[in-house]
Amino acid sequence: MLKMFCPDMYLDNIYDIDIEYIKKKNIKGLLIDLDNTLLPWNCCIIDQDLRDWVKKCKKYGLSLCIVSNNRARRINECAKELQIPAVTRAIKPRKKAFLKGLSILGIEKNQVAVIGDQIFTDIFGAKRMGIFAILVKPVCNREFVWTRLMRKFEGIILKLMIRKGLISMIK
Ligand SMILES: [Mg+2]
């Protein structure tokens, strides 16, 4: 049961992702959460580091697609700025949005990684589909009230997974 919530990688942030390593795992695309994964929650200011990271992923041949539970307008603005497609109002952990992301990228689920900052939406959503899942620490601690509440449960599960040795890569 715990395995359904267990990320394949747990990192400080997206910049710690070893792109060469995931390329070796035959991963061709990334389905990425936006809020508190790429950008602070409800923020649309894209800095140079993020632009460079997106460019680097593309250079390595990775296709990117944002998959966000947030409302369409803001997500689409950010996606346009970064020149990557987006699936909005995703209702993660439901499978539908991930499937839509896969069809946009034109790849199979075993060729993609999901990246996100929340265990119960991003990671659980990925694992229930058998997708490689990368958990990152939230970019900032400002977030939706409900998310803040869920963090308490996430914290408990994370500690348990670490104690059981289920999470292998921790920074
Ligand atoms: Mg998020």
CA 68 to ligand 1 centroid distance, Å: 8
Q: Which domain holds residue 155?
A: 2-163
CATH of the domain at 55: 3.40.50.1000
Is 169 inside a domain boundary? no
Q: How far apart are CA 90 and CA 73, in angstroms?
A: 13
Low-confidence ranges of the chain (pLDDT < 50): 171
Q: How far apart are CA 53 and CA 16, in angstroms?
A: 11
Task: Indicate the number of domains in the chain.
Answer: 1
In terms of residues, how long is the chain? 171
Distance from chain centroid for Cα 134: 6
CA 46 to ligand 1 centroid distance, Å: 16
pLDDT attached to residue 168: 65
Q: How far apart are CA 23 and CA 97, in angstroms?
A: 23
Is 23 inside a domain boundary? yes
pLDDT attached to residue 148: 83
CA 88 to ligand 1 centroid distance, Å: 12
pLDDT attached to residue 171: 46
pLDDT attached to residue 169: 54
CA 32 to ligand 1 centroid distance, Å: 9
pLDDT attached to residue 141: 78
Residues sharing a CB contact under 8 Å with residue 92, sequence separation 6 or more, in sequence order: 33, 67, 69, 98, 116, 121, 122, 125
**Inter-residue contact 117 to 135 (CB < 8 Å):** yes
CA 49 to ligand 1 centroid distance, Å: 19
Q: Parallel, antiparallel, or unpaired for β 63-67 and 112-116?
A: unpaired
CA 119 to ligand 1 centroid distance, Å: 9
pLDDT attached to residue 150: 87
Is 61 inside a domain boundary? yes
